[in-house]
Chains A and B, each alone.
Chain A
Amino acid sequence: MAEDRIIALKDIVVDYDGERVLDGLCLDIRDKEFMTFLGPSGCGKTTTLRVIGGFAEPKSGQVFFDGRDITRLPPYKRQLNTVFQKYALFPHLNVFENVAFALRLRKVEDREVKRRALEMLELVGLKGFERRNIATLSGGQQQRVAIARALVNQPRVLLLDEPLGALDLKLRKEMQIELKRIQQSLEITFVYVTHDQEEALTMSDTVVVMKGGAIQQIGTPQDIYNEPKNAFVADFIGASNIIDGIMLKDFLVEFAGQEFVCVDKGFAAREIVQVVVRPEDIQIVPAIQGQLTGLVENVIFKGVHYEMHVRQAGYEWIIHSTQAAQVGELIGMCIGPDEIHIMKREQEG
């Protein structure tokens, strides 16, 4: 076990209304890292966060904080704070008093309260908003207040439950960068929950992909993106072409009726595998030069690139490219060895 871990979850089981939400979850969170739980709704990511925060009690299993068992500790005794999905600001207090709430509770001296609350408001860029009623703030500003309020206690871990979900795209992108900056400047651990794969990849040091109450894969954003462990991760992390193939021998795989050189090895001879090819990794070439040839079925302009659906021998390939082909055109497709990712075939379903 790593020395610098701050939170450890051991065999966490949570049932909700007779349904298993978390099924024996084990996880280590390192100190000062930005960890993100990523998954579709109902995958157990928010429940995991609530178990860490003390708002959901596990049926079995343990939660350790700094090596100490905190499984039965109520939320108010835990050295961590939470930014809630819908901000959950106190409507009867103004901006300053919302941020100062935790300090006032601990009977911190007035001058100190003022200094630290103002410092937090400055950190989140809300200097001068102290006297404002929170009902008069925009969604983004309310979220900043919620962050300042949660940070004022100087927690060692900040839990964030889809904090940017209610914001529009542009604001969300700004806040992503802002959150990362705050995390790095304060040098504390962030545990973040989102269903947005791009958000997870942008901010995290470590991404935990979850499905059905279990962890699918843990790794850096690069690992998760480039080396997905299974079809679910590959699909969830971004639109992908996932097709069945046969590993002929090390570094040689057959799929879509063609043999391809790849960089994977260590599979049994003629083992059936799943092949992942990212849409942006397929090169469009003239039909005669392609390893595969296909018919362009439609072309959608996406801003940065075009998305094309190409039919080839019963498969539908998704291709992202800055150059557009014509609908009905026959094109060639090339896939380099580095762009082919081989996964063990899923046992289930």
Chain B
Amino acid sequence: MKSKLGASPYLVWMVAFVAVPLAIVVYFAFTTKDGAFTLENIMGLGAYTTVFARGILQAMLATAICLVVAFPIGFFLSRMAPAHQKMMQMLIMLPMWMNFLLRTYAWMTLLERNGLINRFLGLFGIGPLQMINTGGAVVLGMVYNYLPFMILPLYTIMVKIDPSVIEAAQDLGCNVFHVLGKVLVPLAMPGITTGITMVFVPSISTFIISRMLGGGANLLPGDLIELQFLGNSYNYNLGSAMALVLMVIVLLCMSFTTADTEEMEAMV
């Protein structure tokens, strides 16, 4: 009895800020403006398939790039002297202390037609290249903004890997690639799944990055939803339906990455 009582603030919190908003979203998604039940909002989403597909693809690409970049960083970070680890951790966190919009603006000025990168390339007679307002720029923005969320969980799990386990693998015949595939990746798996979740979820639901770096042509599901609530289209029933579908997509995508995480966590 007592233990249930102790959990009540948490329950109240969950109900007020998770269950109720969710119920409201579901309610709007299945109703018309007049409050009548309808499936039209959900059925009408077929028109936006390309946007959703692009969102999933770009988020997956950004997540994959983050993983490939963050894995070696996390590993070398975890093998540094403890004093240096603290320092590096701070350096990785440092950009996140700056405003998200500001950071993305910085990329705009870099990638522009007359931006720093094109001007630099121009010195060698290359370009100007079309970088801003492309899908690539959007993915770059995602990778840049969410990379720390991949590095930190990987680092946290890799710090716990005993260096002699890696030596044992080498001793038993592993070259660098075998060490990576047979020991490091399996042992870092909990960190990998956490990192994927922490990068994929914000990437697929972002809207400002695509607006600023992708131009009008590279809308993401997040942009569509924003348009329904704050933009000209103003249709919160359709917006709710989109939000609901996006949530389902995220849940589906995450379900197979987290399937055996708990078991793995128990072992490490």
A, B assembled together: yes
Contact, CB under 8 Å: A88 / B175:
no
Tell me what chain B mostly uses at the interface: helix, strand, loop, or mixed.
helix
B183 contacts across to A, CB distance below 8 A: 90
Instruction: Please name all residues of chain B whose beta carbon is closer than 8 Å to the beta carbon of A53 when the two chains form the complex.
Output: 171
Residue interface mask B165-189, A partner, CB < 8 A = 1:
1011111111100100011001101
Decide yes or no whether A336 CB sits under 8 A from chain B.
no
Q: Are B171 and A105 in contact (CB under 8 A)?
A: no
Given A54, A85, A102, A133, which contacts B172 in the complex, CB threshold below 8 Å?
A102
Q: Which bucket holds chain A's interface residue count?
A: 20 to 34
Provided the pairs A91-B267, A92-B264, A92-B267 are in contact, do residues A106 and B164 lie with their beta carbons within 8 angstroms? no
Given contacts A91-B267, A92-B264, A105-B182, contact A153 B172 (CB under 8 A): yes
* CB-CB under 8 A for A105 and B178, given A74-B170, A92-B186: yes
> Of the candidates A84, A105, A106, A133, which one forms a contact with B168 in the assembled complex, judged by CB atoms under 8 Å apart?
A84
Chain A, range 58-100, C-beta contacts under 8 Å to B = 74-76, 81-82, 84-86, 88-92
- How many angstroms between the C-alpha atoms of A133 and B264 in the bound complex? 12
B167–A101 CB distance below 8 A: no
Q: Is the CB–CB distance between B186 and A88 below 8 Å?
A: no
Contacts of B165 in A (CB 8 A): 88-91
A99 to chain B, nearest CB (A): 10
Determine if A82 and B267 form an interchain contact, defined as CB atoms under 8 angstroms apart. no
Chain A nearest CB from B190 CB (Å) reads: 11
Task: Specify which chain B residues have a CB less than 8 angstroms from the CB of A106 in the assembled complex.
Answer: 173
Write the chain A residue with the least CB distance to B186.
A92
* Interface residue? B268 (CB, 8 A): yes
**Contact call A84/B268, Cβ cutoff below 8 A:** no
Bound form: Cα–Cα A89–B171 in Å: 12
For residue B162, CB closer than 8 A to chain A, the reply is yes
Q: For the complex, what is the distance from the CA of A91 to the CA of B165, rounded to whole Å?
A: 9
Q: In the complex the two chains form, is A88's CB within 8 Å of B187's CB?
A: no
Known: A86-B164, A88-B164. A135 touches B267 (CB 8 A): yes
Asked if A101 contacts B164 (CB within 8 A), the reply is: no
In the complex, the answer to whether A149 meets B264 with C-beta atoms within 8 Å is no
Q: Which residues of B contact A102 (CB under 8 A)?
A: 172-173
Name the residue of chain A whose CB is nearest to the CB of B161.
A91
Q: How many A-B residue pairs have C-beta atoms within 8 angstroms? Tell me.
A: 68
Judge whether A76 and B174 touch: CB under 8 Å: yes
Q: In whole angstroms, what is the CA distance A135 to B268 when docked? A: 9
Residues of A within 8 A of B187 (CB): 90-92
- Chain B residues in 8 Å Cβ range of A55: 167, 170
Q: Does A120 contact B (CB under 8 A)?
A: no
A135–B267 CA distance with the chains assembled, in angstroms: 7
- A105 close to B173 (CB less than 8 A): yes
CB distance from B267 to the nearest CB of A (A): 5
Residues on A with C-beta less than 8 A from B168 are 82, 84, 88-90, 149
Any chain B CB within 8 A of the CB of A164? Answer: no
Interface residue A113 (Cβ < 8 Å from any Cβ of B) = no
Q: B172 — which chain A residues lie within 8 A by C-beta?
A: 76, 81, 101-102, 105, 149-150, 153
Whether A153 lies near B173 (C-beta < 8 A) is yes
Contact with A along B233-268 (1 / 0, CB 8 A): 000000000000000000000000000000010011
A101 neighbours in B (Cβ, 8 Å):
169, 172, 182
Q: Which of B162, B172, B189 has the most CB of A within 10 A?
A: B172
B145 to chain A, nearest CB (A): 32
* B-contacting residues, A318-334, CB 8 Å: none
Residues from chain B with Cβ under 8 Å of A85 in the complex = 164
Give the residue name and chain of the A residue nearest to B185 (CB).
A92
B176 smallest CB distance to A (angstroms): 9
Residue with the highest number of chain A CB atoms closer than 10 Å, among B178, B182, B187? B182
User: Do A133 and B167 touch (CB < 8 A)?
Assistant: no
Residues of A within 8 A of B171 (CB): 53, 75-76, 81-82, 150
Specify which chain B residues have a CB less than 8 angstroms from the CB of A86 in the assembled complex: 162, 164
User: CB < 8 Å: which of B175, B189, B267 contacts A76?
Assistant: B175
With contact pairs A90-B183, A135-B267 given, residues A76 and B173 touching in the complex (Cβ less than 8 Å) = yes
On whether the beta carbons of B182 and A84 are closer than 8 Å, the reply is no
Q: CB-CB < 8 A to A150: which residues of B? A: 171-172
- What are 19 A-to-B residue pairs whose CB atoms are below 8 Å? A74-B175, A75-B167, A76-B170, A82-B171, A84-B167, A88-B165, A88-B167, A88-B168, A89-B165, A90-B187, A92-B186, A92-B267, A92-B268, A101-B169, A101-B172, A105-B174, A133-B267, A150-B171, A153-B172
10 tightest A-B CB contacts, nearest first:
A88-B164, A88-B168, A102-B172, A75-B170, A92-B186, A84-B164, A82-B171, A88-B165, A105-B173, A76-B173
Q: Which residues of B contact A (CB under 8 A)?
A: 162, 164-165, 167-175, 178, 182-183, 186-187, 189, 264, 267-268
User: What 6 additional pairs, Cβ within 8 angstroms, besides A55-B170, A90-B165, A92-B187?
Assistant: A53-B171, A76-B172, A76-B174, A85-B164, A89-B168, A90-B169
